[in-house]
């Protein structure tokens, strides 16, 4: 069975929804407080996928995700390693990582996304929305068909809710922007209902460069995105479901956020069969 590790604690608050998504996909779910990782109660290497859910880790002090990222980078675990060292081994072993909203912010602060230079220096940042307010509504996301991530296979346009105040992607340099595009690491972009990508508000909720809603590392093993797929696990989660149902427009499972979790669990299951 696919084993999913979902971190919680210190202000993370979307772990239950993420756990529900993995359970619906047939995975074994372990929701674990970060302190229990540090004290050695759980071994990351025994899992197939590591998840950083949304929330407000450490109240978004300094910058969203920064304090949690520093704890992961510098706090020693009971075995003497830092958690980032464990994560790097996890990635080298072909495992997967998903970060949503605050989780995406943590991954960028850690330097795991986009991870262009192979070090742990941040190359992009997620800063305050252009609207200067917290955006809590639904958007459309266009998936890059040339991106190699198994999380996103066979998806074209996906409606998802956003709930963030700091989601605007900015680049450390023009070189970072160019390399992201060249590598096809821009995974999701904000778009209108017809799939036209834009950086204009309100279709783009934060003013993110290139309309970026999510990116991957070059391997496709790590995905970070601002919208919340775990908040759209059923047609009945959609705010307009009564009217859609009345019109006979009931969305299939593969047209909801559940598809991202189905995709990665299916991929890991196939990999396990090949290794047997």
Tens of pLDDT, residue by residue over 35-73, are: 999 999 999 999 999 999 999 999 988 889 999 999 999
DSSP 106-165: HHHHHT-SS-SSSSS---EEEE--TTSS-EEEEEEEEE-TT---GGGTT--EEEEEEEES
CA–CA dist 225, 108 (Å, integer): 10
Tens of pLDDT, residue by residue over 1-12, are: 999 999 999 999
Q: Beta partners for 32? A: 7
- From the number of C-beta atoms within 10 Å of its C-beta (0-12, 13-18, 19+), residue 92 rates as exposed
Q: For residue 193, what are the CA distances in angstroms to 89, 138, 156?
A: 40, 11, 11
Residue 244, phi then psi, degrees to nearest 5: -65, -40
How many Cβ atoms from other residues are within 10 Å of residue 253's Cβ? 13
DSSP H/E element including 269: helix 258-275
Q: Are strands 49-52 and 222-225 parallel, antiparallel or unpaired?
A: unpaired
Query: pLDDT value at position 274?
Result: 81
Q: Under a CB-based contact definition with an 8 Å cutoff, are residues 233 and 260 in contact?
A: no
Q: Please state the rounded mean pLDDT for residues 125-144.
A: 97
275 band by pLDDT with thresholds 50, 70 and 90:
confident
DSSP 156-201: -EEEEEEEES--EEEES-HHHHHHHHHTT-EEEEEE-TT--B---T
Q: Cβ neighbours of residue 150 under 8 Å, at least 6 residues apart?
A: 96, 220, 263, 264, 267
Query: pLDDT value at position 266?
Result: 98
In CATH, the number for domain 3-275 is 3.40.50.880
Q: Cβ neighbours of residue 121 under 8 Å, at least 6 residues apart?
A: 111
User: Which residues participate in catalysis according to the annotation?
Assistant: 101, 228, 230
Tens of pLDDT, residue by residue over 206-248, are: 999 999 999 999 999 999 999 999 999 999 999 999 999 999 9
Could you state, in order of their start, the residue ranges of all structural domains in the chain?
3-275
Q: Please state the rounded mean pLDDT for residues 24-31.
A: 98
Q: Cβ neighbours of residue 248 under 8 Å, at least 6 residues apart?
A: none
């Amino acid at each position: 069975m696919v084993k999913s590790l979902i971190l919680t604690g210190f202000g993370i608050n979307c772990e239950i929804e993420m756990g529900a998504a993995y359970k619906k996909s047939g995975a074994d779910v372990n929701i674990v407080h970060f302190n229990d990782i540090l004290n050695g109660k759980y071994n990351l290497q025994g899992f197939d996928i590591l998840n950083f859910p949304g929330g407000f880790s450490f109240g978004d002090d300094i910058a969203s995700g920064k304090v949690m990222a520093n704890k992961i980078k510098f706090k020693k675990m009971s075995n003497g390693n830092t958690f980032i060292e464990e994560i790097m081994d996890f990635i080298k072993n072909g495992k997967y990582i998903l970060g949503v909203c605050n989780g995406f912010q943590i991954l960028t602060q850690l330097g795991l996304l986009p991870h262009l230079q192979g070090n742990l220096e941040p190359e992009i940042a997620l800063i305050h929305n252009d609207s200067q307010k917290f955006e809590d509504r639904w958007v459309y996301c266009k998936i890059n068909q040339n991106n190699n991530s198994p999380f996103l296979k066979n998806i074209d346009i996906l409606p998802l809710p956003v709930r963030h105040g700091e989601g605007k992607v900015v680049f450390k340099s023009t070189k970072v922007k160019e390399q992201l595009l060249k590598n096809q690491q821009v995974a999701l972009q904000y778009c209108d209902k017809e799939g036209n990508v834009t950086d204009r508000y309100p279709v783009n909720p934060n003013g993110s460069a290139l309309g970026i809603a999510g990116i991957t590392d070059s391997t496709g093993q790590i995905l970070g995105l601002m919208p919340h797929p775990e908040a759209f696990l059923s047609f009945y989660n959609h705010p307009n479901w009564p009217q859609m149902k009345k019109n006979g427009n009931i969305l299939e499972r593969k047209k909801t956020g559940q598809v991202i979790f189905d995709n990665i669990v299916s991929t890991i299951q196939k990999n396990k069969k090949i290794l047997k």
